[in-house]
């Protein structure tokens, strides 16, 4: 599971930092989380292939989280996309996109399936590779977080050992499922002799924009990594609260309560040029803090 | 009069080239022509101050000409803009912006005056410094060109000569208007003794996106510089016509018919990396051709 940050700033772009967008790559499939203005350009810059994107998730309808979406949707059509695209967002997003497409007389050359986000925590996507759940956060307008869980693909094949026992690749899928192998002469090869434990499934929780609140803690409990907005430093905690945003310390407190392994900070106010203080403040409450940097890849 | 190119590509951003946006600066006032995705970032990059922008003109509702507008409008509000902003565009633009603002519960902190573009050639703005007219072009959906005319600020004061005749600065405005000066002793100082001709007024015509057509020739006749889209080279003339676009040669033919002094080409298809052929092809029909480059300033 690989997180790529395409934009980590809050509403106003500043210091070369873009509005919110990031991708989560799971077994080659790319999930796009939010789509601030310029996302299609950031995707080009950082080598994110739109052909591998089949699911886009929009947290809420503040512009810095979706003003890049109409352009991306359009470009995919101009580039001849065929595969359907699934878009998950607040219900109000659909009439806006419909109006934009109608004004341009545009008929997309692929199917765009819109899925309005439900009010309660819900499963959105469930595939053999991953599942995505959404949960409401608290931001003044309808706003959602997402939990992406990468599914394990079973046990890991040990090619050398398989070769020694004469097991051909056509039997690997059975081995991955944990089954023993029975040779032509009736000899039973124990599964654990030719496989190892597969990679452990990973969970990534995406929480932006939101007040500090424990209301969605059950949805993110035990996540390997939590991305939590930290628009402000603690000196501006009052402003953060008034604007339905969080501080770095609040993000760290939530990560600790959730027993997360890592905390990824983002959505920084344009008032801060240097972001080191975000790491320092959060680190007083939580050990493994990362200040997100655009174009950087974080592997789980 | 100064033209700054913020985006010169057609619908798909490519090779670092952005969708359409440019500014025209007249006596310090900045007019924004189209506002493709990323325009606010391009303005930051090239030092264009939004505080000096009071008029924005949107040619049509294909996304590459206005998807940067919601973000720019929003950012101006977040940055505490007070001055009213005048927006000129196809009538369909207003309900889209209204829906976007409503979805975010956003109330702008400045007045946004929307002016729907009329069907026939019309005067849009008339100030002591400039005037802007619009005219319909041919692009499949409602689409407009704009003519920006910088007004002369009257005759140019010759400070040395004024001083010799004892004329104080408080009388300069009268002199600029061409009036003679009468001294306290009744002596008449002829205007031409203490002033020179002012700078000649300049006209800039902005024509994008459009088929090659002479239908709007009367509106751009005699322009000092014409910006005309040239999405394609001549080998793709058929494709250009089918998509309501023009070739570089067609742009050159129109500039010649309009007796323009200079032709500025832009809105290049993403299929072309190297743009030199646009200049070469257009130059076979028109002598002074410029291939627009992002971030470059063209003075009239």
pLDDT of B128 reads 84
pLDDT, tens digit (0-9, with 9 covering 90-100), for B183-209: 999 999 999 999 998 877 899 999 999
**Is there a contact between A289 and A236 (Cβ–Cβ < 8 Å)?**
no
**Would the pLDDT of A152 be above 90?**
no
Instruction: Look up residue A74 and give its two tokens.
Output: 């359009």
Domain range summary for chain B, segments of one domain joined by + = 2-153+199-299, 156-196
The length of chain A, given as a count of residues: 300
Q: Which residues pair with A268 in a beta bridge?
A: A9
Cβ atoms of residues B191 and B181 within 8 Å? yes
Contact by Cβ (8 Å): A287, A256: no
Residue A158 sits at φ, ψ, to 5 deg, of: -105, 100
Q: Which CATH number fits domain A2-153+199-299: 3.40.50.12140, 2.40.30.10, 3.40.50.150, 3.60.15.10?
A: 3.60.15.10
pLDDT of residue A153 exceeding 80:
no
CB spacing of A67 vs B70 below 8 angstroms: yes
**Residues of chain B where predicted confidence (pLDDT) is lower than 70:** none
Tens of pLDDT along A110-127? 999 999 999 999 999 999
**For residue B104, what are the β-bridge partners?**
none
- DSSP for A224-279? SEEEEE--B-GGGHHHHHHTT--BHHHHHHHHHHTT-SEEEEE-B-TT-S--HHHH
Partners of residue B128 on adjacent β-strands: none
Name chain A contacts of B12, Cβ cutoff 8 Å: 75, 78-79
User: B38 near B64, Cβ under 8 Å?
Assistant: no
According to DSSP, the β-strands at B262-266 and B289-291 are: parallel
The alpha-carbon gap from B77 to the nearest alpha carbon of chain A, in Å, equals 10
B121 touches A: beta carbon within 8 Å? no
What does the pLDDT read at residue B292?
Answer: 97
Closest CA to A148 of A265, A23, A297: A23
Question: Which of A40, A104, A106, A270 should be substituted to probe chain B, the one whose Cβ sees the most B Cβ atoms within 10 Å?
Answer: A104
Q: Is the peptide bond before A145 cis (omega within 30 degrees of 0)?
A: no
The predicted structure's pLDDT at residue A143: 98
CB B261 within 8 A of CB B288: yes
Can you give the pLDDT at residue B100? 98
| Tokens describing residue B273 | 């990396």
C-alpha A33/C-alpha A25 separation (Å) is 11
pLDDT for B199: 77
According to the model, what pLDDT value does residue B177 have?
Answer: 86
A105 touches chain B (CB under 8 A): yes
Residues in B closer than 8 angstroms to A141, CB to CB, are: 103-105
Q: pLDDT band for position A249 (50/70/90)?
A: very high
Percentage with pLDDT > 90 across chain A: 93
Q: Hey, are the CB atoms on B99 and A99 less than 8 Å from each other?
A: yes
Q: What is the pLDDT of residue A199?
A: 77
Residues of chain A contacting B64 with CB distance shorter than 8 Å: 71, 74
Q: Report the distance separating Cα A207 and Cα A267, nearest Å.
A: 10
A92: left (phi over 0), alpha (psi -120 to 50) or beta: alpha
Does A81 have pLDDT greater than 90?
Answer: yes
Decide if A71 and B37 are in contact by the 8 Å CB cutoff: yes
Q: Which two tokens stand for residue A142?
A: 């309808």
In 3-state terms, what secondary structure has residue A194?
helix
Determine the pLDDT at residue A124: 98
Q: DSSP per residue over A25-79, as a string?
A: EETTEEEEEEE-TTHHHHHHHTT--GGGEEEEE---SSGGGTTTHHHHHHHHHHT
Interface touch B41/A40, C-beta < 8 Å: no
ipTM for the whole predicted complex goes beyond 0.90 = no
Residue A64 is a catalytic residue: yes
Element (H, E) at B72: helix B69-78
pLDDT tens profile B152-178:
878 899 999 999 999 999 999 899 888
Per-residue model confidence (pLDDT) at position B113? 98
DSSP for residue B187: P
Q: What is the pLDDT of residue B271?
A: 95
User: Which residue from A62, A71, A141 is facing B63, i.e. has the nearest CB?
Assistant: A71
CA distance B62 to chain A (A): 5
Burial of A185 (0-12, 13-18, 19+ CB in 10 A): exposed
8 Å CB contact of B41 and A63: no
**Residue with more model confidence, A172 or A128:** A172
Length of chain B: 300
- B-chain residues near A96 (CB < 8 A): 96, 99-100, 103
Burial class (CB in 10 A: 0-12, 13-18, 19+), B203: buried
Pairwise CA distance, residues A240 & A10, whole Å: 12
Average pLDDT of every residue of chain A: 96
């Amino acid at each position: 599971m690989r997180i790529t940050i395409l934009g980590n700033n809050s509403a106003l772009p500043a210091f070369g930092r873009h509005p919110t967008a990031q991708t989560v790559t799971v077994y080659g499939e790319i999930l796009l989380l939010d789509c601030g203005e310029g996302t299609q350009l950031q995707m080009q810059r950082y080598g994110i292939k739109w052909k591998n994107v089949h699911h886009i998730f929009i947290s809420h309808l503040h512009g810095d989280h979706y003003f890049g979406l109409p352009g991306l949707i359009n470009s995919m059509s101009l580039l001849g996309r065929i595969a359907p695209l699934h878009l998950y967002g607040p219900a109000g997003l659909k009439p806006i996109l419909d109006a934009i497409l109608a004004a341009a007389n545009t008929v997309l050359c692929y199917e765009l399936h819109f899925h309005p986000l439900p009010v309660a925590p819900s499963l959105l996507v469930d595939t053999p590779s991953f599942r995505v759940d959404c949960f409401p956060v608290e931001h003044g307008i309808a706003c959602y977080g997402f939990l992406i869980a990468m599914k394990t693909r079973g046990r890991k094949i040990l090619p050398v050992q398989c070769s020694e026992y004469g097991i051909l690749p056509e039997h690997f899928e059975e081995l991955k499922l944990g089954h023993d192998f029975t040779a032509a002469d009736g000899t039973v090869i124990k599964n654990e002799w030719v496989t190892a434990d597969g990679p452990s499934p990973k969970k990534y929780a995406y929480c932006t924009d939101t007040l500090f609140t424990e209301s969605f803690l059950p949805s993110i409990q035990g996540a390997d990594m939590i991305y939590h907005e930290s628009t402000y430093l603690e000196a501006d905690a009052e402003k953060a609260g008034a604007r339905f945003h969080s501080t770095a310390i609040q993000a760290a407190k939530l990560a600790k309560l959730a027993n997360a392994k890592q905390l990824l900070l983002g959505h920084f106010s344009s008032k801060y040029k240097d972001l080191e203080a975000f790491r320092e403040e959060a680190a007083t409450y939580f050990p493994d803090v990362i200040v997100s940097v655009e174009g950087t890849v974080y592997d789980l």
